[in-house]
Amino acid sequence: MRKIWIHGKHETEWITIPLEEYESLNRTIAVLSDENLMTQIRKGRQKNVRSRDFERLANELRI
């Protein structure tokens, strides 16, 4: 779990996040933007195909 520090009201229009978090967000956007992949995921869920948590799998594969 990520730690979040809040120091008063934020008035800036930008934030800083760790590179790892940024890359993770980009991977998520890439998956959600891939219509073919999302169709495969939906079909798999409808057929109750066994699935694995992506983050856990990515850690196991060290990617």
Cβ(31)–Cβ(37) under 8 Å? Answer: yes
Phi, psi for 8 (deg, rounded to 5): 75, -175
Q: Establish if 5 belongs to a structural domain.
A: no
Indicate whether 9 belongs to any domain: no
The answer to whether residue 2 sits within a structural domain is no
Residue 30, pLDDT score: 94
Predicted TM-score (pTM) of the model is 0.52
**Three-state SS string across 17-29, please?**
CCHHHHHHHHHHH
Please tell me which residue, 13 or 20, carries the higher pLDDT value. 20
Residue 28 sits in which domain range? 19-61
pLDDT for 1 equals: 58
What domain count does the chain have?
Answer: 1
Is residue 57 included in any domain, yes or no? yes
pLDDT in tens, 16-62: 899 999 999 999 999 999 999 999 888 888 887 777 788 888 888 88
| pLDDT exceeds cutoff 80 at 11 | no
Identify whether 36 is part of a domain.
yes
Residue 55 lies in a domain: yes
- Predicted confidence at residue 42, as pLDDT, reads 87
